[in-house]
Amino acid sequence: MAGRRENPVDPTAGPVARFAAELRKVRSEAGNPTYRVMAQRTGQGASTLSQAAAGDRLPTLPVVLAYVRACGGDPEQWETRWREVAAEVAAEPRAEDEDAEAPYRGLARFEPGDADLFFGREQLTDRLLELAASRRFTAVFGPSGSGKSSLLRAGLIPRLRTPAVDRPRPAALRVLTPGAHPMRTHGRRLVPDDDAGDTWLIVDQFEELYTLCADPAERDRFIDRLLTATDLAGRLRVVIAVRADFLGRCAEHAGLTSALQDGSVLVGPMTRDELREAVVRPAQAGGLIVERSLTARILDEVEGEPGALPLMSHALLETWHRRKGRALTEAAYEGAGGLHGAVARTAESVFSRLSPGQAEAARRVLLRLIAPGDGTQDTRRPVSRAEIGAASPGDSATVLERLARARLVTLDHDTVDLAHEALITAWPRLRGWIDADRERLRAHRRLTEAAQAWDALNRDAGALYRGTRLAAAEETFTDRGDLTGLENAFLTASVEARLGEQRAAARTTRRLRSLVAGLTALVLVAAAAAVVAFQQRATARTQRAVAVSRQIAAEAEQLRGTHLPPQVQNVSLAAQLDIASYRMRRSPRTYTSLLGAANSPLFSETPDRSGSADEDSSGGNGRVAADASRHLLALAEADGAVRLWNTRDVSHPTLVGRSLRGSVVALSADGTLLAAEDDADGRLRLWDTSDPRHPAGLATFELPGDTVGNTVALSPDGRLLAAGGQRVYLWDLHDPRHPEPLDRSLPGDLPAFSPHGHLLATASIGSGTARLWTTADPTRPRALGTLRLGSAPQDVVFRPDGRMLAVEDDGLVRLWDIADPRHPERLSTPLETADGSEVAAVAFSPDGGTVAVAGDNGVQLWDMPDDDDRAPTRLGEPLGQTSYNGIAVIFGRDRYSLITDDRVIRVWSLPPVLTECSEGSVGGIGPDGRSMVTTCGPEEVRLWDTSEGRHPRRLGALPGTYAVFAPRGRLLAVAEPHGGTRLWDVGDPAHPRRLGRTSVRRDRVIGAVSFSADGRVMAEVEQEPLKAFPLGGTGSAEGGEGTNLVFGETQAEAESRIRLWDVGDPGRPRFLGTADPHEDYAPDEPSLALSPDGRSLAVADSTGKVKLWDVHDPSHPAPVAGALTGDLVAFAPHGHTLAVATADGTLRLWTVARAAHPRPLSPPTDSAGLVSALAFGPDGRTLVTGTTDGMIRLWDVTDPARPSTTGDALVGHTGTVDRAVLGPGSHTLATSGEDGTIRLWDLDIDRVVHHICDTTGNALSRAQWRHRLGSLSYRSPCT
């Protein structure tokens, strides 16, 4: 039956109408299916599909692809069309205000014509006007981004043009910037006008005298001419604007220094009220409103942020572009990138749309516009269009036009300039280019100036480069692709002049061959010059290696930037660039960059074999299924085919067998039976997948009536099949070749079986409910409980243990406790996507401890707590994806591997983060490096197998509050919850064997335990009252050779004592003696450490004092007079070096060869954070600090007199780091934090590189290298 006739649409009415007409055409070519039929094919609503072709507004991309899929069109082609139309729509002026001007200027300065939009600086303008009227020479100082230029142009100049009644009108108003040649360019404009009245000269960007003008004499002449304004008889008034960091340069001129004494205005940050004016008033002037929440957020972000005004203006401009009606909303501000992301997002948006040739031209153009600072910030450098065009012919015009359209550069007559210097710091890519090419940029600026001077002197040979300057230029500019014609000609002329001089010298030499002495002298000079040239060449090569390494590192940082859309981020490519950077220059910074990359989620990519098809844009869990062991993966891909993947080695999945037909898929738990529903014909198919290489068809059948299936599910034993459409139908599969339909259907659309037992869940899109059923008797399913949902559910997923159900409901993932399926209980905290978009898919890890929630912009991981007292928490940043299309997700064999598919299969390797315990803390790494002990909660100690490094495996649990390994052998000491220390033999950590136990008074508890270096003496801190102690509270440190007694924490308000035991026979510990604290000891979470020789004990308590004890006789420890200042202590495992850290962030090393006379080895060193954890590595050369802001820093203490940080901080924890432990060889680091996570860090660079390469595959191809790094010679990082 024909559908209702649509209203006509005029294709010439605009891009939206044209697009609607094209959609109608593809539907017509498909035979005009009704929208109801199309809705059944796609899952979209009929009215939604109808509105897509109405021509009123541009439909969303998923709706367009669903429309095209229903009509048999090419989705990839239509996605391209949609993006082109979306760009046209975004570029079009709004119909209701086509002539409207944006109320914000973005990065550009305010001009005099913008005075009616310039708010917030009224008081400062009044002050400047008063001062300039009373003095003839006035200066405006302020940091970059404070608004100096706008103050002059939109504040002062309009006031001068329309003076008050009592103020004279200027004879002339002149505005200029000095440029490279201020006298040559502006000499005539410095002369007062002949008319009556004063000539006002406004000199903006005064710092260009120091950044662009290379001639000190011309600079001084220009300043002297300006200072003639101070002559009271003259008719010139001068106002200059200077960046504050150039005040010192201004003081180099005596006359200028004198003029500035009482004639300066300082432009400081705006007050909160002034900021509100700058945000709200321009919008009001344009008839717009700003959401109060947006205003408050901007004020909070900008207040106290130096140089943030241009960033604020640009973010507001981009928000205006995304406004909803008359309102500027916080959602639009967030979409624009916010204060710190808007500039980068705009710039990256422009850059990403450039071809490779245009991208390289953009890099060269932008670097031309930079003057690198020399002890000051980098500044912009205005250049002529001729210079730009000569340097980058062909693509430069297109690049400039696009950059100008985005307001990133300004085109003023013949001059090109950055819109604002804020672009330099706000766009990481540009910052990276500058840092990578800084030395070359400086050399290039010198070359430009020399070439221009040569040209101005009619190309006088005397102005050419010679000697070392020419040699350095040749070494620097081996690639002249970015030089202008003039610069090329200058270098060529310099080389030719040198050749001429060399030829002349040769002729002279031939004439003077008889003068042997002269020849010998010439040879000696040449030899010396050769040595100098060789040294310069070696230095240049080193500098080039540094520059290239930094360029590569900058590209890596750009790729992992959180300001980028997840579709652009590529952490794996960034990690391989880190390897390339490290191999180019092995430095501490490139080393820690690699450590950070290896501790991040990484992925390898494989095309999902669906080619360019994009038939399914909705994603979802129905597209992917796996057996219980995760050895076989079935993936229903976008071309309507089901493909099987062998995932025994999950990092390297391999395609097996032939393609099968299907759109949604299910696998039995043993992987021998596969069921799929095919959208193309609506049929269900069963395959025998016992041998995945040769899947055998078993049966093909249809759903009853005209039901359109959209989900299939198999019971764990493969005996029961459920398929959902408008109802859920069941089939008995005892004989899968002849499936028997069961009489009864169930209400609902979406079925899912529990991994255990006979529990079935069905969700109903229409009623907004889900039901639980028992299928113990499949012929008579019995209802158990009902889940009342908020809206139409989209999917249901069981946790692997079957005790929890996740339901996609109202754009969120809501969790239900179904331990008692008759009385399901909804948990309070729902899970959501990374950006709040609709949920596309959800998956539990095999252990149920992690949930992956996929949306439009990546996959967000959530930690699921063991107990009901904790809410789920986000784990890290979202994992990126390649497109906005739907995504399917499933975990591998454990929580550390995740597979996603959105036309590209990504296998993610997730970092080793333990999250099982709310109060977990690392206790130590076993002496063999293959085991680890942690605490979990107040009374449990857990053992872990760490032999596989990145995949720690839980072994078992013991009752205890604290645990520590003996430095040698197989002994583990555990402080038991009710007092005493239990010793365990953990030679087989999976089966620890109980040994002896120390005795303790009934009202005492053990706060900490430690061993001597030889493992024969054990110390325990006994204290009251009886309570549990978390592992992370101790500040112990282990030593090396000799006796090493490390004591744990004590209680400030409780009486404490330290008891020593001989544990040479761990089955029968023998009491040695007691050490009582000194009188002023405040044992509130102390830090204690013993020197390797066992003769000196350092105790830091809560008063910030470090007391030293003489314990050469363990039976009689004696305190030493005097104290150091500190809160944490640790002894190096060899020698007498003691590290002392204060909570306020100071680190210092001491030698305590004699406990009574400690001597400082190093001055106090800033540890760049409030120290909360401190530990030496077993090698004695590595020190680790953790801070309250979650940072972990490695220190090189090979020379204790000069400790230095190793590269950058390692970032992972989101809260205070409470404990750090280094394993054998200092190759493994374990840390724990108050964020509830325990992290393992691999510090072995060879293993780190191997892990990255094994995980990321061939991420850095030649094509990627060329795109990212241009003409640099390709070096594969993993070969």
pLDDT greater than 90 at residue 417: no
Q: Is the domain of 221 the same as that of 176? A: yes
* pLDDT for position 769: 86
Output the pLDDT for position 406: 79
Under the banding of pLDDT at 50, 70 and 90, the label for residue 527 is low
Residue 452: which of 261, 669, 179 has the closest Cα? Answer: 179
* Judgement on whether residues 59 and 76 belong to the same structural domain of the protein: yes
C-alpha 1007 chain-centroid distance: 39
Per-residue confidence (pLDDT) for residue 867, from 0 to 100 = 67
Sign, CA dihedral 771-775-779-785, equals: negative
Instruction: Tell me if 331 is assigned to some domain.
Output: yes
> What is the DSSP-derived secondary structure letter of residue 248?
H
CA–CA distance, 1162 with 893 (Å, rounded to integer): 50
Is 557 within a domain? no
Domains held by the chain: number: 5
Measured distance CA(848)–CA(451) in Å, rounded: 68
Write down which residue in 910, 935, 962 finishes a domain. Answer: 910
* pLDDT tens-digit map of 529-542: 555 555 555 555 55
Residues 132, 20 share a domain: no
- Separation CA 337–CA 829 (nearest Å): 27
**Which residues span the domain enclosing 127?**
121-268
Whether pLDDT at 1240 is above 60: yes
**pLDDT, position 614:** 42
**Cα 739 from Cα 732, distance rounded (Å):** 6
Q: What are the pLDDT digits (tens) for 139-151? A: 999 888 888 999 9
pLDDT tier at 1003, thresholds 50, 70, 90: low
CA distance 313 to 1186: 38
Q: What is the pLDDT of residue 292?
A: 86
Residue 400 carries which side chain, given as an amino acid letter?
A: L
Give the pLDDT confidence of 906-931 residue by residue, as tens digits. 899 998 888 877 678 888 888 888 89
> Strand (E) positions, 1054-1145?
1056-1062, 1070-1075, 1087-1090, 1096-1100, 1105-1110, 1118-1125, 1128-1131, 1137-1141
**Has residue 1158 been placed in a domain?**
yes
627 occurs within a structural domain: yes
Residue position matching structure tokens 């850059």: 351
Q: Which amino acid, one-letter code, is at 386?
A: A
pLDDT attached to residue 375: 64
Same domain, 728 and 849: yes
Instruction: Judge whether 1075 lies within some domain.
Output: yes
Whether residues 791 and 934 fall in one domain = no
Burial of 639 (0-12, 13-18, 19+ CB in 10 A): middle
DSSP 576-624: HHHHHHHHHS--HHHHHHHHHHHTS-EEEEEE-S-TT-----S--GGGE
Torsion of CA 1271, 1274, 1275, 1279, to 10 degrees: 170
> Tens digits of per-residue pLDDT, 1078-1125?
555 544 556 778 788 777 878 877 778 888 888 788 888 877 877 888
> Is-contact 664 683, C-beta < 8 A?
no
Q: Does 654 score more than 60 pLDDT?
A: yes
Is the domain of 243 the same as that of 302?
no
Q: What phi and psi values does residue 1261 have, to the nearest 5 degrees?
A: -80, 175
Laid out side by side, the sheet with 673-677 consists of 664-667, 673-677, 683-688, 696-702
Instruction: Kindly report the average pLDDT of the chain as a whole number.
Output: 82
Q: 184-209, pLDDT tens digit by residue?
A: 889 888 988 877 789 999 999 999 89
Measuring CA to CA, which residue among 1098, 1110, 1104, 1059 is closest to residue 1084?
Answer: 1104
Provide the token pair at 830. Answer: 């729902």
In a domain, 480, yes or no: no
How many C-beta atoms lie closer than 10 Å to residue 691's C-beta? 11
Q: Residue 513 domain-assigned?
A: no
Question: Is the domain of 704 the same as that of 647?
Answer: yes
Q: Rounded to an integer, what distance in angstroms lies between the CA atom of residue 767 and that of residue 747?
A: 9
Query: Which run of H or E residues covers position 422?
Result: helix 422-426
Please enumerate in sequence order all residues whose Cβ is within 8 A of that of 718, keeping only pairs 6 or more positions apart, or say none: 668, 669, 670, 672, 673, 733, 736
CATH number for 163: 3.40.50.300
Higher-pLDDT residue of 567, 654: 654
What percent of the chain clears pLDDT 70, i.e. is strictly above it? 87
Tally helices (H) and strands (E) across the chain: 31, 71
Q: What is the identity of the amino acid at 1148?
A: R
Look-up of token digits 């069109």: 73
- Between 1042 and 1006, name the one with better pLDDT: 1006
Share of the chain above pLDDT 90, in %: 25
* pLDDT of the residue at 322: 77
698 pLDDT higher than 90 = yes
Task: Looking at the structure, tell me whether residues 623 and 711 fall in a common domain.
Answer: yes
Same-domain status, 900 and 957 = no
Q: What is the mean pLDDT of residues 716-741?
A: 91
Cα separation, 775 vs 718, in Å, equals 13
Q: Same domain for 677 and 822? A: yes
Query: In residues, how long is the chain?
Result: 1279
Sheet of strand 904-909, all strands in order from the earlier edge strand to the far edge: 602-607, 904-909, 897-901, 888-891
Q: Is the pLDDT of residue 678 over 60?
A: yes
1001: Cβ contacts below 8 Å, ≥ 6 apart: 979, 1022
Residue 501 falls within a domain, yes or no? Answer: no
**Domain end residue (candidates: 402, 434, 466):** 434
Q: In 3D, which of 889, 1114, 1181, 924 has the Cα closest to residue 1038? A: 924
What's the confidence (pLDDT) of residue 886?
59
CATH code, 705:
2.130.10.10
**So what's the pLDDT on residue 644?**
94
Report whether 3 contacts 32 (CB < 8 A): yes
**Residues 1063-1073 pLDDT 10s:** 889 999 998 88
Per-residue pLDDT tens over the stretch 62-101 = 788 889 988 988 888 888 888 788 766 544 434 444 456 7
Give the pLDDT score at 547.
67
Mean pLDDT of 663-676: 92
Express each pLDDT in 296-347 by its tens digit. Answer: 889 988 887 767 888 888 889 888 887 877 788 887 787 778 887 888 888 8
Q: Please list the alpha-helical segments (H only) found in 585-725.
A: 588-598
Q: For residues 408 and 348, is the Cβ–Cβ distance under 8 A?
A: no
Phi, psi (rounded to 5 degrees) for 125: -65, -45
Tell me which DSSP letter residue 30 carries: T
For residues 284 and 261, membership in a common domain is answered with no
Mark which of 859, 886, 910 sits at the end of a domain.
910
Answer with the residue of higher pLDDT: 256 or 509.
256
Does residue 55 sit in the same domain as residue 161? Answer: no
User: What is the model's pLDDT at position 138?
Assistant: 95
Q: What is the pLDDT of residue 1051?
A: 36
Examine the pLDDT at 561 and tell me if it is beyond 50: yes
Task: Determine the average pLDDT of the residues in 887-891.
Answer: 88
- Give me the mean pLDDT over the 244-254 stretch: 88
Exposure string (b/e) for 1026-1046, b if CB count within 10 Å is 16 or more?
eebbbbbbbbbbbbbebbbbb
What is the token pair recorded at 480? Answer: 């002249």
Helix axes 571-584, 1262-1269, angle to 10 degrees: 80
pLDDT at 392: 53
Q: Would residue 969 be called left, alpha or beta, if left means φ above 0 and alpha means ψ between -120 and 50 degrees?
A: left
| Spatial separation of the C-alpha atoms in residues 1169 and 1145, rounded to whole Å | 5
Sequence-ordered list of residues with C-beta below 8 angstroms from that of 1276, at least 6 positions apart, any chain: 1260
